Structure 1
Amino acid sequence: MSPSDLEAKLKGLSLEDSLAKISQDFPGQAVFSTSFGLEDQVITHAIYSQNLDIRIFTLDTGRLFTETYELHKRTNGMYGKRIQTFFPDAQAVEDLINEKGPDSFYDSIENRKECCNIRKVIPLNRALKGAKIWITGIRNDQSGSRENLTKVELDTGRDILKFHPILDWSWENVQQYVQDKNIPYNPLHDKGYPSIGCAPCTRAIMPGEDFRAGRWWWENESTKECGLHWVDGKLVRKKGSEV
């Protein structure tokens, strides 16, 4: 199925109905990656509250906030589920720290991307094995690099469809859904952290700052991405390619 064909099938459906359709059309082959941000909690609720056949996993980099681990536990308990966890390769982390120190990511963009690759991208590739469609919590107003994405696209590097069910939601839409459904969320969101990643790499943002300004805050790059959604150095935004 091509991305454009799938997007046409999902057009006009609610979040819950679109995920139910994905579960039906890709039985045992649909996965959702959560980092326990507000957007991800919305999608987790929509999946678990309907008991859909969509596997949910998370990437534990080993450098997350205590609040994120606590939310992981609360989420499992609320829905009676176990979100699958993938860790980076221990030897690769040991080699990186022994060679460059525990905080080499502050020294250069190249070092930071190396750390992200070891702790996030490589584990993600393992987590996606066997899947045909990858669901994400990306929204197009999170950053300028995401504003032109389509709801369904093809990640050519991994040969997997990607579906962004709340791509056109605003931050206010997300907050309202969480409030209406009484969904547990990370208390750091109430302290100025709209986007939450690893603790050493995330800070609160100031009023008027870009949504992702708190991620890798010491860098001057306008595009703040860790590499999970990049292929050949670019955000995936292809449409109409066959799978």
Structure 2
Amino acid sequence: MQELTNKYNSQLEEKTIVEKLQFLVEQHPDKVVFTTSFGYEDQVITDIIFKNDLPIKVVTLDTGRLFPETSKVYRSTLEKYNKPIKAYFPPTEEVEKLLDEKGPFSFYESLENRKECCFIRKVIPLKRALKGNEIWITGLRASQSDNRSDMKFFEYDAGNDIVKFNPLMEWSLEETIDWVKKYNVPYNVLHDKGFVSIGCQPCTRAIQPGEDFRAGRWWWEQGSGKECGLHSVKK
């Protein structure tokens, strides 16, 4: 997988996003998946996939703690493109056990508890969504976080044994928003209220002018890296 990652970074460097995606579905038929959380970046990729009728599975992780506004974007996206977006949920028994033992807001109490909640609600369903696939498309941009500053278009995700493709890696937030506006792509209205990175409702707030892109996620933590575990394993 690592050799394939290096090969694709070199071989596909000059191709457009659509050309890269077309190449991937040809090389990995029925084994390319895109995970969306309906933010600006993910909506751009969804627009590209659906408008070009690319045979790529589009899936989302429903943690059970999402903003109503996020669910509305989900619905609007289904209505606009008339294409399927499959939802994956966390395991019921694990969620029940967590709440029985630690209550509904244990993630505020410690970093360990927060990561435990993220693992149950996000990482476990993600692994189900990625199972059997060879290429994982994401909406990550390098400028979103210091942790992502050294990312490449193609990366090997060792934790999931899959090649990750980050087509918007070099895009700015402004370029992303411009695409959404130009092509009338459905977007989360929370973006208009200062929410840049939108996750679970209890763990996300709007950011203030001058604050870091990830400041609105798990704002009560200091020095945690502001990651949930979905994109923390790579080589």
Pick the TM interval, shorter chain: over 0.9
SS at match of 1:172: helix
**Identity over aligned residues, as a percent?**
54
- Structure 1-normalised TM-score? 0.94
Q: Where has structure 1 moved over 3 Å in runs of 4 or more?
A: none
Q: Which residue of 2 aligns with 1:241?
A: none
Question: d(CA) in 2 for partners of 1:157 and 1:69?
Answer: 29
2:111 corresponds to 1:109:
yes
Shift in Å, 1:185: 0.3
Q: Which residue of 1 aligns with 2:203?
A: 201
Shift in Å, 1:129: 0.6
Unaligned runs of 5+ in 1: 239-243
Match of 2:120 among 92, 97, 118: 118
Q: Which residue of 2 aligns with 1:57?
A: 59
> Does the 8 A contact of 2:44 with 2:176 survive in 1?
yes
Question: d(CA) in 2 for partners of 1:16 and 1:158?
Answer: 25
Q: Alpha carbon RMSD of aligned pairs, Å?
A: 0.9
Aligned residues: 233
Match of 1:172 among 171, 174, 181: 174
SS at match of 1:154: strand
> Does the 8 A contact of 1:155 with 1:162 survive in 2?
yes
Taking the TM superposition and a 5 Å limit, the aligned residue runs for 1:141-220 are 141-220=143-222
The amino acid across from 1:55 in the alignment is K
2:229 corresponds to 1:227:
yes
SS at match of 1:18: helix
SS at match of 1:98: helix
Q: Cα deviations across residues 188-224 of structure 1 (Å, max 9, x unaligned)?
A: 0011011000000000000000001000011112511
> Does the 8 A contact of 1:19 with 1:46 survive in 2?
no
- Structure 2-normalised TM-score? 0.97
Q: Cα deviations across residues 4-58 of structure 1 (Å, max 9, x unaligned)?
A: 1111222122222222222222110000000001000000010010111110100
Match of 1:134 among 119, 122, 136: 136
Unaligned runs of 5+ in 2: none
